[in-house]
């Protein structure tokens, strides 16, 4: 199983929504960790996926730190680092 880590600023919502749907349907993805780096954004994708975990940051921690946080909480040893 894989943990997929996706930091987002919510700028590519159409792509992110498709990506999340595909990951949700995948048999090899156990969890999707979404790092919300723009908690003030009002135009976010509806994250209604059973595999999704959303962590909202109080400020933009940028992509590298977001990936590190995602890896630190991942349940699975296999990690997929992604972005939107």
Q: What is the tens place of the pLDDT at every residue in 24-75?
A: 999 999 999 999 999 899 999 988 999 999 999 999 999 999 999 999 999 9
> Residue 76's pLDDT is what?
98
Contact 71, 2 (CB under 8 A): no
> Residue 57's pLDDT is what?
97
Banded model confidence at residue 13, pLDDT cuts 50, 70, 90? very high
> Residue 16's pLDDT is what?
96
* Rounded alpha-carbon distances, angstroms, from residue 14 to 2, 21, 30, 78: 23, 11, 22, 26
> Residue 25's pLDDT is what?
98
Q: Look up tokens 């159409």; give the residue.
A: 14
For residues 56 and 54, what is the distance between their CA atoms, to the nearest angstrom? 6
For residues 17 and 44, what is the distance between their CA atoms, to the nearest angstrom? 10
């Amino acid at each position: 199983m894989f943990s997929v880590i996706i930091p987002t600023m919510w700028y590519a919502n159409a792509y992110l929504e498709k990506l999340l749907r595909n990951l949700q349907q995948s048999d090899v993805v156990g969890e999707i960790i979404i790092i919300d780096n723009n908690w003030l954004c009002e135009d976010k994708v509806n994250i209604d996926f059973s595999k999704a975990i959303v962590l909202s940051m109080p400020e933009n921690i940028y992509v590298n730190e977001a990936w590190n946080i995602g890896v630190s909480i991942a349940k699975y040893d296999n990690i997929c680092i992604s972005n939107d």
